[in-house]
Amino acid sequence: MYIPEHFAETRNEQLHALIHAHPLGALVIAGPHGLDANHVPFELDLNAGAHGHLLAHVARANPLWLEAKDGAEALVIFRGPQGYISPNWYPSKHETHRQVPTWNYQVVHVHGRLRIRDDERFVRGLVARLTRAHEAQSGAARPWRMTDSTPEFIDQMLAAIVGIEIEIERMVGKWKLGQNREMRDRVGAAEALQRLGHEDIAAAMLAVAT
């Protein structure tokens, strides 16, 4: 990934925060038929390994777990807030007319080694943790729990998925938020995004503008 120095984000706590907030990752591997991408929600376990592990599961019908080899190189892409930036939002544009459109975004690339976990205990624990974490944000008066279904049904569902574990080797972050623009242009663009209801990317831009 091309990263000009002013867009580089190297603070682990910021990279971890984006993964926690946007856990749906694009898992990219080199399979027997070329590059393959699968989009799955991940759990970030910072207590495992030197740099943490990413945990997920895929359908047993997905050929990924049969085609991927243990220890294979893997890339997981997590995309945070993003949005189109109009030159009209820059105060300087109306003075010089030397601005063009762009796109601002936050993204984390996680590089690591893949391991297949066809292990009922691993999968059950992972599903339970993912469910608790995301049901807590569902707004339901009574969050869904695995015990809402019969044990036989849950066993059947768990048998239909396979676990994936990725040992993180390095993370690369890119925060393209207008850091190369004048302060007034950063703020002008962020305020325009706020008016359009794009609060997440606007907040990220204002955070680097202050």
Query: Tens digit of pLDDT for each residue in 92-147?
Result: 877 887 789 999 999 999 999 999 999 999 999 999 999 999 999 888 889 999 98
- Asked whether residue 92 is domain-assigned, the answer is no
Number of domains observed in the structure of the chain: 1
- Asked whether residue 144 is domain-assigned, the answer is yes
- Asked whether residue 47 is domain-assigned, the answer is yes
> What's the chain's average pLDDT?
94
Alpha helix locations (H) across the chain?
12-21, 64-67, 93-96, 120-135, 151-159, 183-195, 199-209
What is the mean pLDDT of the segment spanning 62-88? 95
| Joined tokens for residue 203 | 């907040």
Is the Cβ–Cβ distance between 154 and 131 less than 8 Å? no
Domain of residue 137: give its range: 5-80+104-179
What is d(CA 180, CA 141) in angstroms, rounded to the nearest whole number? 45
Q: Which amino acid is at 163?
A: G
- Asked whether residue 195 is domain-assigned, the answer is no
Lowest-pLDDT range, 55-64, 84-93, 101-110? Answer: 84-93
Which CATH number characterizes residue 156's domain? Answer: 2.30.110.10
- Asked whether residue 69 is domain-assigned, the answer is yes
- Asked whether residue 205 is domain-assigned, the answer is no
Q: What are phi and psi of 105, to 5 degrees?
A: -165, 165
- Asked whether residue 109 is domain-assigned, the answer is yes
Task: Give the model confidence (pLDDT) of 171-202 as tens digits.
Answer: 999 999 999 988 999 999 999 999 999 999 99
- Asked whether residue 168 is domain-assigned, the answer is yes
Q: Whole-prediction pTM value?
A: 0.92
